[in-house]
Amino acid sequence: MKAAAYDAFGGPITLRELPDPEPGDGEAIVRVRATGICRSDWHGWQGHDPDIRSLPHVPGHELAGEIAAVGRGVARWKSGDRVTVPFVAGCGRCPPCRAGDPQVCDAQSQPGFTHWGSFAELVRVRYAEGNLVALPMESTVAQTCYTAAHGAVSSRCGASARCRIRRSLKVCSSAGRRAPARSTPAR
């Protein structure tokens, strides 16, 4: 796969060929169709995040795309499904995950931090059953990749909140109250 990676913290980020990831048990591989860049990617590149333990490293955690492959034990998802993933991917088995708080899971994973991220053609999603989020058919991957990084509110939107598409911006509200009606026309 093609990926943007760095070999040293603060060093050049270069486009290169890297091995395609293979899905392990309970994992999915997502073909990235859109990715964003976030200040936390910069912190990782600077060496500020202790979860980045090996180099070279591929940053990126704001993503949307479609499933390219699934590993054993993944039953809810299939190749071709349009998905995004939250910034913090919980294990789904521990007490915080079972209570609906995967953001405090001790076994959490984060594409672009605990493993290679979305500045690549393919990205591994661990604990896929609980962490993949279906993209609404009326949204584009570019519209949705931004919401992936914004935690439990946006990524768990379909399970606990009201969502709607307004022209070109996905609007989510987790408190059951109406979200501000802000949108920008599609270009």
Instruction: Encode burial over 49-79: b for 16+ CB neighbours within 10 A, e otherwise.
Output: beebeeeebbbbbbbbbebbbbbeebeebee
Q: Is the dihedral of CA 73, 79, 82, 83 positive or negative?
A: positive
pLDDT averaged over the chain? 81
pLDDT tens profile 45-92: 999 999 999 999 999 998 999 999 999 999 999 999 999 988 888 998
What is the reported pLDDT for 83?
92
Instruction: Encode burial over 120-156: b for 16+ CB neighbours within 10 A, e otherwise.
Output: bbbbbbbbbebbbbebbeebbbebbbbbbbeebebbb
Higher local confidence (pLDDT), 49 or 172:
49
pLDDT tens profile 19-31: 999 999 999 999 9
pLDDT above 80 (res 11): yes
Q: What is the mean pLDDT of residues 130-155?
A: 66
What is the reported pLDDT for 136?
80
Domains along the chain with CATH numbers = 2-137 (3.90.180.10)
